[in-house]
A and B are shown apart, each in its own frame.
Chain A
Amino acid sequence: MTYTDYVTGEPVADTKAPAGPVAERWDKRRFEAKLVNPANRRKHTVIVVGTGLAGGSAGATLAEQGYHVVQFCYQDSPRRAHSIAAQGGINAAKNYRNDGDSVHRLFYDTVKGGDFRARESNVHRLAQISVEIIDQCVAQGVPFAREYGGLLDTRSFGGVQVSRTFYARGQTGQQLLLGAYQALSRQIAAGNVEMHPRTEMLDLIVVDGRARGIVARDLITGKISTYFADAVVLASGGYGNVFYLSTNAMNSNATAIWRAHRRGAYFANPCFTQIHPTCIPRTGDHQSKLTLMSESLRNDGRIWVPKAKGDDRPPNRIPEDERDYYLERIYPSFGNLVPRDIASRAAKNVCDEGRGVGPGGQGVYLDFADAIRRMGRKAVEAKYGNLFDMYQRITDEDPYEVPMRIYPAVHYTMGGLWVDYDLQTTIPGLFAIGEANFSDHGANRLGASALMQGLADGYFVLPATINDYLARNPHQEPVTDRHPVVQEALAETEDRLNLLLSVDGDRTPDSFHREVGELLWEFCGMARTDAGLRKALERIPQIREEFWRRIKVPGTGEEFNQSLEKANRIVDYLELAELMCLDALHRAESCGGHFREESQTPDGEAARRDDEFAYAAAWEFTGTGEAPTLHKEDLVFEYVHPTQRSYA
């Protein structure tokens, strides 16, 4: 049986969201969830993997509640997780602007923005919690931008028409993360969190069907150890780095979630990746990562390309009537503020037509000349100064004088481990939060919603729902290294690393990563076709086979060995890439970030097919290269009626 001959198994259902009006479900669930007696909490150990917005806030909050938390990050400090790089802001339905915002509107915008592939119950909860997040962060001392009266400032962000985005200049992620990190630090000092930096999770330990621990490697000594707990929380982020070039940090990886998937956790909507429209174009083959420019730039910058193909005049010499402000032309009411997927695809289209600018024609202009004329250079500087500086540092061009060049890049993954309303995966006791799960953004995430979801999950949702699991499983048998399951997980991990070290081939880990990444970008990137995906699915097993024949990893496993870390992550990318392509192949509709060329409207917009595909696709692992089993979760829309998205 080949990989594409997948079978459809039993549907998967979210059994935790209560029935009844959507606005009452979260209150109802919190009331129904069992509680753990405060005196008993310290007897429970919870493992948290990752210290980004989701993991940092969850670790701190669980420890405040009295649980014993054992937490891990691969970075040298929990302060460095990649949430730190989020620039733009965080949404919250505070309606401080009195501009018609409400919890229901944020809920509505998020379901619609996600192109009707997200679960209503989860999204509504997210919108409700958004207001508490701002309160919490302000209390922690997060220095949000403020007005002269001392109150919080907000701005509008791609894809919405209200001003609900709170921000801290272009460093909102950094400031929110430091807030969570500081709360976590307080709990580390208090002895409630046992923190293991420079330690990477390499496998999940499942005993009697329940998640009971992890196998992890100390990245300094290379020592592989086991850690046991009553529940395991994965907050290890997204898997965008499978593309090699992305805006993710270099070491962000999919190993924690992929290993959990191999142990039985379903992986949902793996093909839903977000390609962000405003990134700095690549300059050559040496490129190691791509840098995002906050999409807040689209509030004042105007996107254009020359009307004529192959027009290579410098931008300032192209007269106004020979420019095509294509977003304003195609989408007059949203203009440059259309959602990310639409902006990205439009950029790809004009570049494919031969009207792209810069090296290789892979870029479009983002022009601030009008904004500078209208607001003055000073005001533009105050609003975007740090972004302009960053652009200039990387490209050596002055965006105050010459329009910026931008091009889409992989930025975020909406897919992830399937979770129910409690954020529990299909393995009891294993929870996934933040970008690591699939829950809230459907097929496309709106700007400034990732920070909101990470903190909602970590500060408020998980700490409430994990209680229920622990209360229902108060006395789990202790697990030790002698348990056969643990022995097996340890042996598998050691064997894998030893094999990587022993091949001694002639290709570096990066060369394989680049190869599979380029393949995905071409066939599972901004536009996908049946034929292209099949080609990728044919090629991936070949790359995998070659990998195990030709990989070269210097050094040993008993030392600080960054090549070994990389190679081991690529092992998982080579499987994940295959699942992404299969998911993209099976979903023969266009929705959100997933654009299938076969499924478009006459005017070239994405054509969703709700009759066939109004479900989340949750895949069950059956073996490397073996056809996985598809479990569908039907999506029911009671409050936001599915319509073809229109931003015209």
Chain B
Amino acid sequence: MKLTLRVWRQRDADAEGAMSPYEVDGISSDMSFLEMLDVLNEQLILAGEDPVAFDHDCREGICGACSLVINGDAHGPERTTTCQLHMRSFKDGDTIDIEPWRAAAFPVIKDLVVDRSAFDRIIQAGGYITAPTGAAPEAHATPVPKPDADFAFEHAECIGCGACVAACPNGAAMLFTSAKVNHLNVLPQGAPERETRVLDMVAQMDEEGFGGCTLAGECATACPKGIPLVSITSMNKEWLRATRKVAKR
């Protein structure tokens, strides 16, 4: 396949960016999208140009590093991560636009690489269960009903890639935050910190400059792990419940 790529190039956080056109040839349909970018970068290096910077690591859809907006969609046309998108989703002669995540809370570092440390700070605000090493009771001391365990797992699948934020017209981080709140709050082990967790994480989310949720639903459509939109409803319920409970105290 022969393709025209239009790639966002931006020297560093303070520089102006722009879309630059490139041609790549000899692309096979078995290549992953990132392997196609590898081909471009090899070409650029040999031509003495600066290769395109992009985040990537595991290339098997689990680390959450890769983060490209492809033809306007976070992670491109398939419901998967960019690294698991294959060139068979494109046709010979296509023009493909490649941009970084766009969100106020994710500033661009270089080209297609953005700063997602706001996600880490949301987790630091309460996305954990306080269980210092060595203090744990025997694992079978507290059975967890299977539906609850499954619910927790489905939310714990979030890979923290940020596609939900990139896809949201408001740049909201509700789906990311709700995934962790729901994972931990449904478990008996998470119960003692149930209220502070949701209140602190939501407060941190707001402080980071993420937008508000208007239930556009784009986040859940873009999520490569299928975290459902109703996850946000569950978090809102948790938040209301916690607000009332804390007010009573």
Contacts and interface: CB of A to CB of B under 8 A. Distances in A.
Contacts of B53: 560, 562
Contacts of A283: 28, 30
Interface string A115-158: 00000000000000000101111111101111111111000000
A291 interface: yes
Interface residues of B, number: 77
A204 B117 CA distance: 27
A269 interface: no
Interface residues of A, number: 81
Contacts of B116: 76-77
Contacts of A559: 11-12, 110
A34 interface: no
Nearest to B127: A182
Nearest to A509: B45
A220 B12 CA distance: 9
B58 interface: yes
Contacts of B124: 185-186, 188-189
Contact of B123 (A182, A506, A555, A563): A182
A84 B160 CA distance: 12
Contact of B42 (A146, A459, A508): A508
A475 B149 CA distance: 48
A393 B152 contact: no
Interface stretch (A8-16, A171-179, A334-342): A171-179
Interface string A170-200: 0100110010011101101100000001000
A220 B227 CA distance: 31
A288 interface: yes
Interface in B134-159: 134-140, 142-146, 149, 152-153, 156-157, 159
Residue of A94, A247, A393, A460 most packed against chain B (CB within 10 A) = A393
Contact of A250 (B56, B120, B144): B56
A454 to B, nearest CB: 14
A152 B139 contact: yes
A132 B146 contact: no
Contacts of A84: 58, 62-63
Interface stretch (A56-64, A370-378, A441-449, A532-540): A56-64
A169 B42 contact: no
B109 A185 contact: no
A137 to B, nearest CB: 8
Given A85-B58, A249-B58, A250-B56, A80 B51 contact: no
Contact of B62 (A94, A171, A552): A171
A554 interface: yes
Contacts of B63: 75, 80-82, 84-85, 249
A189 B127 CA distance: 11
Nearest to B121: A189
A150 B189 CA distance: 13
A41 interface: no
B16 interface: no
A96 B139 CA distance: 11
A144 B143 CA distance: 12
A291 B34 CA distance: 14
Contacts of A506: 46
A250 B86 contact: no
Contacts of A250: 56-59
Given A76-B117, A84-B62, A175-B156, A139 B144 contact: no
Interface string B18-51: 0000000000101110110011001011101111
Interface in A31-83: 57, 60-61, 64, 75-82
Contacts of A64: 132-133
Interface in B178-196: 183-184, 187, 189-190
Contacts of B30: 283-284, 286
A152 B143 CA distance: 8
Given A94-B139, A559-B12, A77 B57 contact: no
B84 interface: yes
A85 B187 contact: no
Most buried by B among A143, A247, A286: A143
Nearest to B88: A396
Given A138-B136, A197-B117, A394-B86, A286 B153 contact: no
B129 interface: yes
B67 to A, nearest CB: 9
Given A134-B139, A250-B57, A288-B38, A169 B189 contact: no
B119 interface: yes
Interface in B102-128: 109-110, 113, 115-117, 119-120, 123-125, 127-128
A542 interface: no
23 contacts: A61-B133, A64-B132, A80-B58, A85-B58, A135-B136, A137-B139, A141-B128, A143-B152, A150-B145, A178-B156, A182-B128, A183-B128, A183-B133, A185-B120, A220-B109, A220-B110, A288-B32, A292-B60, A396-B86, A554-B50, A560-B53, A562-B51, A562-B53
Q: Which 6 A-B pairs have the closest CB atoms?
A: A150-B143, A182-B128, A139-B136, A139-B131, A189-B124, A143-B153
Given A85-B58, A393-B80, A560-B12, 16 more contacts: A80-B64, A81-B63, A82-B58, A84-B63, A136-B133, A138-B136, A141-B184, A141-B187, A146-B146, A168-B156, A182-B128, A186-B124, A508-B42, A510-B38, A554-B45, A554-B48
Interface of B: 11-12, 28, 30-32, 34-35, 38-39, 42, 44-46, 48-51, 53, 55-65, 78, 80, 84, 86, 88, 109-110, 113, 115-117, 119-120, 123-125, 127-140, 142-146, 149, 152-153, 156-157, 159-160, 183-184, 187, 189-190
